[in-house]
Amino acid sequence: MKRIKQVCSRVYQVGGNGLSNPEDCCVYMVDGGSASAVIDAGAGASAGRILENIANAGFELDAIKYIIVTHGHIDHIGGLPVWARQLKGQIVAHELDLPAVAQGIPRLTAAGWYGVDYQGVNVDIVLREPMQPLQVGDLSLNFVHTPGHTPGSIAVYLDVEGQRFLFGQDIHGPFNPEWGSDLKQWRGSMQKLLELKADILCEGHFGIYTPAARVESYIKSYLERMG
């Protein structure tokens, strides 16, 4: 099994899509040199394997300073309890998804869909603003609140090597009132992502999209499908 997928010299896919358990979302790592961050944690069964992927690729686990949660569904947060014990990184999530991430409310995590018993974790950095930056080593990550799939969904982008990388998890949905999904908010969030004019999209389940025209086409295709 391939261990990780290099997107550029600073961005890697380390879980999902054949790199870990099929139930995992795509898990990404950003290498800021002196510090790194992982984006999402998978459904849980492969939490250890994803860390092995990172370590076997030559990266220090102690360098992971941040574990970024794009939203509170179990295929994105199930590995957090393991990582909270094994890593020194701070967990980052939006305040509107704390009932899922920190409290573990099953209706919001959709844990029952995966047969997972999720216990909430402490969130160290709570996002509250429409846009917030975070320095990770020598890279600047930017968090964008993108409600719609869930109330506290976020996207992450950074500019590196002359290109804009967008981590836009679950652009495609699905949508369920039990999770607090809101299609009107989602449409507005997708417009925010289009305005970022990303060169490379690291999507939450379907992998990497590039160049910029393909990123734009991908996002617009779901806007068209949802009317």
Could you state, in order of their start, the residue ranges of all structural domains in the chain?
Answer: 5-225
How many degrees, rounded to 5, is the angle at CA 80 between CA 163 and CA 172? 50
Residues 45-74 have a mean pLDDT of 97
Write the CB contacts of 71 (distance below 8 Å, at least 6 apart in sequence): 94, 97, 100, 149, 150, 152, 153, 154, 169, 170
Q: How many CA atoms lie within 13 A of 99 on its CB side?
A: 12
> What is the 3-state composition of the chain as percent helix, strand, coil, each rounded to the nearest 5?
30, 25, 40
CATH homologous superfamily, domain 5-225? Ribonuclease Z/Hydroxyacylglutathione hydrolase-like (3.60.15.10)
User: Average model confidence (pLDDT) for the chain?
Assistant: 95
Average pLDDT over residues 137-163: 97
R_g over Cα of the chain: 16
Section 141-160 average pLDDT: 98
For position 2, what pLDDT does the model report? 55
Kindly indicate the confidence band of residue 1, based on its pLDDT and cuts at 50, 70 and 90: very low
Q: What integer is the mean pLDDT of 100-128?
A: 93
Please give the helix or strand (H or E) that residue 223 lies within, else none.
Answer: helix 212-225
Residue 191's pLDDT is 97
Cα distance between residue 137 and residue 139, in whole Å? 6
Mean pLDDT over 106-113 rounds to 89
Residue 118 clears pLDDT 90, i.e. is over it: yes
Band of residue 133 on the pLDDT scale cut at 50, 70, 90? very high
User: Is it the case that residue 38 has pLDDT exceeding 90?
Assistant: yes
Give the model's confidence band at 112: pLDDT under 50 very low, under 70 low, under 90 confident, else very high. confident
The residue among 46, 17, 100 whose CA lies nearest residue 2 is 17
Q: In the predicted model, is pLDDT for residue 64 greater than 60? A: yes
Q: Is the pLDDT of residue 169 over 90?
A: no
Please tell me the distance from the alpha carbon of residue 222 to that of residue 56, in angstroms, as a whole number: 36
| Cβ proximity of 74 and 116 under 8 Å | yes
The candidate with the shortest Cα–Cα distance to 7, out of 212, 211, 208, is: 208
In three-state secondary structure terms, 202 is strand
Among 66-80, 101-115, 138-152, 184-198, name the one with the lowest average pLDDT: 101-115
Per-residue pLDDT for 116 more than 90? no
Query: Whole-model pTM above 0.75?
Result: yes
